[in-house]
A = this chain, B = another copy of it.
């Protein structure tokens, strides 16, 4: 963890280093992924079985390729009732939030008599990647599959690796709740390639979303264009802007809730109170040892944690915009005044009683958010990622006469005579 203060003359340079720090996986991965993707494209199921044997240590022809719906239902029914209720509450709230994202069609006729509009349709098939092993999160199933279902996608194909054949029953239960329509026991770059190109067994999809390791992320990046993808995802991040009136233990827990995700996760506190900064640092040190995720949290906090003391909370805001964080907490009495001055953040958590983790599970907004400063240009996952828009036009002889000559003039100026003729013949 580094401690910085905006009053330090060297602050500018130190903060720029923090902003530009790259925490993402690198080029060796790209070559491996190219090989895997080409194999699956060319050899289909045979390549898929071979890579699964190699990386996940099980034989798909023995364990089965699909995970059947009866298994999801059994997992759902076998859940601890409190957990089942929690998953259902989360699914309901996520569904309610995403239903408001459905876009409206338009269809108008303007003064020139030109009918213009746009119509939205769902994609037909979505692929959802869910990691196996430690990072097998049922909340990821809900956050990826529910927007697709709300969009109206008919086919939601989930893939998840089952290392040594093992499956997490919570993930199966979440798939049951979220409206997944088929599930495959595959993972890694090979699963992304299978979804994009299709294989003998698995039909291709139109859009692939969901978290994954560096190989999965790189496969999605390479196949962007063959299919749509949600985004290029990196390690998770939180920025907390907090005054000295907060409970240091609460803020320490918030910072650690990102640090415990991954050794490359980043947690940054801005505060205008140097004594509070120290209390939070101490609270982090005290709490960290008590976590079952202590090793990951400590590595991440040591390498990527930061506490930055500012002259005022307002002074932090342009610095926050430079970081364009995935998650931003504004822990103060009038968070709206600060929020009004923030431009770049994936999701914002306002006030002292809105810990980021509430948004990871049950609040409703999506937890799939832009990382690595991509909130400058990207948004969280939404219903729109599973829909596409068709624009349309209808002219009649009068409206074509009104605007057609300008089109002819421009087409001729661009040296495109058939364009010009297709309009001119109708005038």
Using CB atoms and an 8 Å cutoff, list the residues of chain A in contact with chain B.
Answer: 82-83, 85-87, 89-90, 93, 96-97, 100-101, 106, 110, 114-116, 118, 121, 123-124, 134, 137-139, 170, 206-207, 221, 224-225, 227-228, 231-232, 247, 249-250, 253-254, 256-257, 259-261, 287, 290-293, 297, 335, 339, 342-366, 369-370, 374-380, 382, 384, 388-397, 399-400, 403-407, 409-411, 413-423, 425-426
14 A–B contacts from the bound complex (CB under 8 Å):
A86-B405, A86-B407, A89-B403, A206-B377, A257-B418, A260-B419, A290-B417, A292-B417, A345-B390, A347-B391, A350-B393, A354-B395, A360-B411, A362-B403
Does B390 lie within 8 Å of A348, measured CB to CB? Answer: yes
Contact (A406, B254) CB under 8 Å given A97-B116, A259-B418, A413-B138: no
Does A93 lie within 8 Å of B417, measured CB to CB? Answer: no
CA distance A370 to B97 in the complex (A): 29
Identify which of B232, B356, B418 contacts A291 (C-beta below 8 A).
B418
Copies of this chain, tallied across the complex: 2
Contact (A347, B393) CB under 8 Å given A83-B413, A123-B377, A287-B418: yes
In the complex, chain B residues whose CB is within 8 Å of the CB of A348: 390-393
How near does chain B come to A234, taking the closest CB pair, in angstroms? 9
CA distance A135 to B225 in the complex (A): 23
In the complex, chain B residues whose CB is within 8 Å of the CB of A351: 394-396
In the complex, chain B residues whose CB is within 8 Å of the CB of A354: 393-395, 400
| Minimum CB distance partner of A345 in chain B | B390
- Can you add 6 more A-B contacts, CB < 8 Å, to A224-B224, A253-B421, A366-B391? A114-B364, A256-B421, A287-B418, A342-B390, A354-B400, A357-B407
In the complex, chain B residues whose CB is within 8 Å of the CB of A228: 374, 377-378
How near does chain B come to A371, taking the closest CB pair, in angstroms? 10
Contact (A250, B426) CB under 8 Å given A260-B417, A293-B417, A418-B291: yes
